[in-house]
């Protein structure tokens, strides 16, 4: 048996929540390794719907250990609110089943203030952030002025670090014409929240090493998607962390050999939230219909997602950059109502044709899709649990996707329900 890394292969919102939940039944430990509470995962278990942002998807299962790794930026108030919310749904979360890395970076109220001020100043050129302070928190970590989870244990350390932090942030807020942060109030808020967070704090890399030695199966859970990776995505319309599989090692505190099988979650069409290039976007009735049938609204923001045809160029690039061994194809049933489908097989930029997403932002914005048209099946695939239940034309569509992205379908999801999953290859058995 092997460990498994789950990452998104598009711009996020590919259905990772369900797949991670399905896999977590086979895992012992579930680790979040990057991102913050800007991510949103929806789990449907029986009649209960769980909406998670910071908590790893394994928390809904009482016999699993969940870890928030050092690569995650943690808003302590958002974390406590989420713990309280899922507790209201009958999920018991204790320091025994949830462990937060002591060296993770904290998101403070000043980060969201700066995030929103920057977006407002960008006007029409806004990136489309969630305004939750993710980017500014990662900036502070890189600049070595961040407040970390472990700092909550020492008020004197907190006070000294806040002095340094506020020199930077208050200067920026003044420049944007925003109110400055009062140190006394912020310090008091951190001192007040500390005893509620500290019981969950652990040296998580040691726990993960112990789990490895004991032969436990670990599921590494990513947020967003590769096309939002700060290095490999459609920069600058990206998130502020690395979303590729390699980040699982850095963001959890394990060596790269511990990662195992890399599974890329891939929607059977394409969606995007926020600003940025989107070659296959459909600003027409078809795009609207995809959004309506697929219930395409952001879990965290509630914003409607932009919808378009499947982009094989983009996913193939994600497969190669992310080192994916296979994909989990989701939301196939959304396409049941269409008599004709299109797949993007290349981009046209001026008089050039490309088979990859270029790095230059001007080229990304100018890219138009080269389509291949396929016959739809106009039959229900919803709830199918075997290949025999799928229409032949649906199987043909899947096989063509595999061919174009140069990766096999390991799992096929045919509804939000956990059991409506066709297993071609169990990633843990790799």
State the catalytic residues.
13, 41
H runs (alpha helix) in 198-284 = 204-213, 247-252
Task: Quote the CA–CA distance of 57 and 61 in Å, as a whole number.
Answer: 8
Residue found under tokens 């049938």: 293
Task: Quote the CA–CA distance of 49 and 51 in Å, as a whole number.
Answer: 7
Residue 298 Cα distances to 38, 206, 210, 384, angstroms: 10, 35, 37, 26
Residue 71 Cα distances to 28, 54, 205, angstroms: 20, 12, 12
Task: Quote the CA–CA distance of 60 and 87 in Å, as a whole number.
Answer: 10
Mapping DSSP to helix (H, G, I), strand (E, B) and coil, where does residue 230 land?
coil
Residue found under tokens 């039944």: 25
Cβ atoms of residues 54 and 132 within 8 Å: no
Short-list 146, 135, 134, CA closest to 37: 134
Mind giving me the DSSP string for 274-311?
SSS--TTB--SHHHHHHHHHTT-B-TTT-PBPEEE-EE
Residue 107 Cα distances to 41, 79, 172, 210, angstroms: 20, 11, 17, 29
Task: Quote the CA–CA distance of 175 and 198 in Å, as a whole number.
Answer: 35
Length of the chain: 430
Mapping DSSP to helix (H, G, I), strand (E, B) and coil, where does residue 124 land?
helix
């Amino acid at each position: 048996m092997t460990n498994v890394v789950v990452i998104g292969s598009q711009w996020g919102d590919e259905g990772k929540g369900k797949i991670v939940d399905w896999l977590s039944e086979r895992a012992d430990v579930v680790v979040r390794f990057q991102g913050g509470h800007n991510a949103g995962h929806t789990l449907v278990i029986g009649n209960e719907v769980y909406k998670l942002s910071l908590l790893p998807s394994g928390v809904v299962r009482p016999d699993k250990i969940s870890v928030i790794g050092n690569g995650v930026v943690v808003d302590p108030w958002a974390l406590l609110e989420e713990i309280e919310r899922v507790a209201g749904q009958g999920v018991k979360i204790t320091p025994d089943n949830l462990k937060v890395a002591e060296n993770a970076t904290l998101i403070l109220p000043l980060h969201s203030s700066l995030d929103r001020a920057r977006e407002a100043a960008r006007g029409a050129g806004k990136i489309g952030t969630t305004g939750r302070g993710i980017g500014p928190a990662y900036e502070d970590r890189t600049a070595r002025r961040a407040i970390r989870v472990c700092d909550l244990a020492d008020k004197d350390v907190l006070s000294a670090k806040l002095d340094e932090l506020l020199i930077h942030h208050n200067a920026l807020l003044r420049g944007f014409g925003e109110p400055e942060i009062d140190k006394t109030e912020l310090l008091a808020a951190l001192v007040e929240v500390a005893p509620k967070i500290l019981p969950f704090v652990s040296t998580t890399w040691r726990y993960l090493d112990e789990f490895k030695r004991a032969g436990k199966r670990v599921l590494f859970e990513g947020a967003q998607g590769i096309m939002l990776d700060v290095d490999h995505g459609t920069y600058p319309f990206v998130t502020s962390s690395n979303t590729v599989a390699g980040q699982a090692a850095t963001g959890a505190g394990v060596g790269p050999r511990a990662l195992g099988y890399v599974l890329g979650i891939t929607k059977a069409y394409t969606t995007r939230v926020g600003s940025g290039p989107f070659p296959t976007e459909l600003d027409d009735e078809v795009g609207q219909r995809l959004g309506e049938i697929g219930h395409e609204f952001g879990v965290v923001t509630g914003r409607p997602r932009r919808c378009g045809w499947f982009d094989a160029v983009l996913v193939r690039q994600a497969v190669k950059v992310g080192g994916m061994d296979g994909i989990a194809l989701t939301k196939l049933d959304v396409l049941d109502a269409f008599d004709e489908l299109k797949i993007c097989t290349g981009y046209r930029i001026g008089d050039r044709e490309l088979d990859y997403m270029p790095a230059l932002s001007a080229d990304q914005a100018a890219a138009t899709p080269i389509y291949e048209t396929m016959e739809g099946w106009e039959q229900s695939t919803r709830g199918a649990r075997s290949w025999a239940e799928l229409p032949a034309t649906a199987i043909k569509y899947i096989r063509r996707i595999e061919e174009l992205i140069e990766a096999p379908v390991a799992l096929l999801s045919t509804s939000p329900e956990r059991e409506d999953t066709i297993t071609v290859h169990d990633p843990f058995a790799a």
